Amino acid sequence: MQITAGGSVDVSYLGSDCIGHADQRPDAQLFWSGSSSYVTFRFQPDNSGDTTLIINAPDGSWYCNDDESSGTLNPGITFFNPSEGRYDIWVGTYRDGEFIDGKLLITELDTAGDQFEEDQATFRFTASPAQLRLSARPAFGSVSLRSGFLPDPHSVQASGGGTISLEDETDNNCVGFVSSPPSVELDWSGGGNQLQFFFRAGAQGGDATMLVRDPAGFFFCNDDVHPGNLNPGVNILNPANGRYQVWLGTFNPGNPVHGRLEISEGYIEEFQYHDDFEDDFYYDDYEEPVSTGLDWTLSPHFGTANLQAGFTPDPHRVRINAGGFNDVWNLSLGSGCVGYASTAPDFRLHWDGSSSLLHFFFVADNTDNDTTLIINAPDGSWHCNDDATSNTLNPFVRFDNPRTGQYDVWVGTYQNGAIVSGELRVSELTSGIPR
C-alpha cells in the first residue's frame, strides 16, 4: 500500500532499536490470521531517503528497524510464526520534519531484505575448484533431513579453517580459507520454500566464512550474515532435492573457529537483521571440545584393510582427513606422541604373514601442514612420530618384523580442531622410506 513516511513523534522512547520520527497514528494496520512460518514487512521509498519501521504486535510488544541489510537504507521486519491479531505499523523518517512517499510491502514469500536476497538467495555461480575435493568424506559428518524435520534448526558441531584460499578456488567470488574436504554434507529431500545454513561460532569467537555447493553443482558463499555479525549464513530459496556440501572457513588462515553449523527451513533469527547482534553472535551453552582419549574399540573413520605379507599394490594408499580435539601430548602415550587427533582411529589395518618391515607414512596434500602419526600395535604398545626427517613435516612410523594382528592408526595435526587432508601409505618396501 502507498504510504507517506514521517511525523513529529520521536520514537526513541520505545526502545534502543527504535529511531526516527513518525506520526502519532499508525500508518497502516494488518489483521492477521492463519498459520505461517513468517511474515515480512518492508518499506520501499519511491525515491531516495532514509526511513524506519515501527510495529506494535498483537501481544503489545514493539519491534523496530532502521536498515534491513547492508547496502540499503530501507527498513524491514520479519515475524517468525506470527501470532494472530492486529499489527499496528508506523513508517518513520530518520530526519525530523522530513516526509517520504513509498510503498509498504507485506509478504510471506521470503525473509531476506533486498540486498540480502541478492547476495544470499539468488546469487549463485559456477566454479571449477582445483583443490577442493568434492568426493571426499566430510570432516564433521553427513546429515539426512527431509522437509518438515524437527527439531529445527538441526545442529552439527564443526570447525572452520584451513589453508586453501576460497578466493582462488571460486574466481574471487568468495573469501576465506578452508580445508579440501567438505566440513558437512546434507542429503536433502522434500523440497520446501527455503533452506538456511548458518555457522554460529563458539564462545571463543572468530571470523568464519562459508561455501555451499548445491545438488546441481552451483556454489553460494558468505562471509558475514549481516553487518556487525561475523558469523556466515547462506539462504537458498526453493531448494532442490539432493546433496549439499558445506565448507567452513576462516577469514584469515591459521587458527580454526569452533562452533556449530545450523540447518533450518527458515527459523534462524540471524537472517533477519537487527541492531543487537553483538549480543547473540555465539551460543551461550557452548563448551570447547575436550580431550576424551583415543579409543581403539571404535570404528575407524576412513576404513579397514586386511593385508598380508607380499601384498600388491605396494604401497597401500588411504585418503584421510587428519585432526581432532584430543590433545595427544596430555595422554602420555610415549615419546613423540603429540598433536590433536580424533577419538576413533582414522584407519585400521589387520596384518598377517611374516615380513621384515612394515611402515606407515602420511603425506599431507599441502607440504606446509604439520601432521603427526599415532599407532596402537597388536601388543597394545603405542608408536608415534612427528617428522620423518629434517626435510619434511610428514610423519613416519616403522615396525621391524611386525607382529600379526590389528594396527589402529590416528593422524594428528598441530592445531586443535584443524583438518588436514592427505594420503596414508602402508608399505613393506624400503624404497618408500622417506630420506
**Residue-wise pLDDT tens digits, 220-254:** 998 888 766 788 999 888 899 999 999 999 988 86
Identify whether residues 135 and 95 lie together within a single domain. Answer: no
Q: Is the pLDDT of residue 160 over 50?
A: yes
Identify whether residues 149 and 36 lie together within a single domain. Answer: no
For residue 294, being part of any structural domain is answered with no
For residue 208, being part of any structural domain is answered with yes
CB 136 within 8 A of CB 180: yes
Q: Is the pLDDT of residue 354 over 60?
A: yes
Query: Which residues constitute the domain of residue 56?
Result: 2-109
CB 360 within 8 A of CB 423: no
**Residue-wise pLDDT tens digits, 75-110:** 989 888 889 999 999 999 988 889 999 999 998 875
Identify whether residues 210 and 146 lie together within a single domain. Answer: yes
Identify whether residues 97 and 139 lie together within a single domain. Answer: no
Identify whether residues 125 and 274 lie together within a single domain. Answer: yes
For residue 401, being part of any structural domain is answered with yes
For residue 17, being part of any structural domain is answered with yes
How many angstroms separate the Cα of 290 from the Cα of each of 162, 281, 417? 21, 22, 10
Identify whether residues 103 and 130 lie together within a single domain. Answer: no
Q: Is the pLDDT of residue 53 over 80?
A: yes
- End-of-domain residue from the set 264, 279, 294: 279
For residue 95, being part of any structural domain is answered with yes
Classified as helix, coil or strand, 196 is strand
117 pLDDT band, cuts 50/70/90, is very low
CB 1 within 8 A of CB 28: yes
* Domain of residue 40, CATH code: 2.60.120.380
Cis peptide before 227 (omega within 30 of 0): no
| Rounded Cα distance, 115 and 75, in Å | 12
Average pLDDT over residues 168-191: 91
- End-of-domain residue from the set 109, 136, 166: 109
- End-of-domain residue from the set 79, 109, 139: 109
Identify whether residues 316 and 427 lie together within a single domain. Answer: yes
Query: Which cell numbers hold the place of 378?
Result: 597388536
For residue 178, being part of any structural domain is answered with yes
| Rounded Cα distance, 349 and 73, in Å | 61
Q: Of 247, 245, 155, which Cα lies nearest the Cα of 208? A: 247
Instruction: Give pLDDT, residue 282.
Output: 56
Identify whether residues 273 and 380 lie together within a single domain. Answer: no
Identify whether residues 141 and 267 lie together within a single domain. Answer: yes
Identify whether residues 152 and 249 lie together within a single domain. Answer: yes
Q: Of 33, 9, 204, 159, which Cα lies nearest the Cα of 91? A: 9
**Per-residue H/E/C for 272-309:** CCCCCHHHCCCCCCCCCCCCCCCCCCCCCCCCEEEEEC
| Rounded Cα distance, 425 and 315, in Å | 6
| Rounded Cα distance, 91 and 30, in Å | 14
| Distant-in-sequence, close-in-space partners of 297: CB < 8 Å, separation ≥ 6 | none
Identify whether residues 130 and 73 lie together within a single domain. Answer: no
Q: How many domains does the chain have?
A: 3
Instruction: Give pLDDT, residue 338.
Output: 95
365 pLDDT band, cuts 50/70/90, is confident
Cis peptide before 315 (omega within 30 of 0): yes
Q: Of 136, 324, 302, which Cα lies nearest the Cα of 213? A: 136
Instruction: Give pLDDT, residue 238.
Output: 83
Instruction: Give pLDDT, residue 283.
Output: 56
**Per-residue H/E/C for 322-383:** ECCCEEHHHHCCCCCCCCEECCCCCEEEEEECCCCEEEEEEEECCCCCCEEEEEECCCCCEE
- Residue 102 CB coordination number (10 Å): 19
In this structure, the strands spanning 142-146 and 184-189 are parallel
For residue 415, being part of any structural domain is answered with yes
Phi then psi for residue 92, to 5 deg, are: -105, 170
pTM of the model: 0.57
Identify whether residues 126 and 101 lie together within a single domain. Answer: no
Average pLDDT, the chain: 86
Lowest mean pLDDT segment, chosen from 6-20, 31-45, 65-79, 113-127: 113-127
For residue 297, being part of any structural domain is answered with no
Strand (E) or helix (H) holding 65: strand 62-65
Which letter does DSSP use for residue 430 in this model?
G
| Rounded Cα distance, 329 and 70, in Å | 46
| Rounded Cα distance, 174 and 215, in Å | 19
Query: Which cell numbers hold the place of 80?
Result: 517468525
**Residue-wise pLDDT tens digits, 263-288:** 999 888 777 654 444 444 555 555 55
List the Cα angle 267/268/272 in 5-degree steps.
Answer: 105
Residue count (the chain):
435
| Rounded Cα distance, 201 and 182, in Å | 18
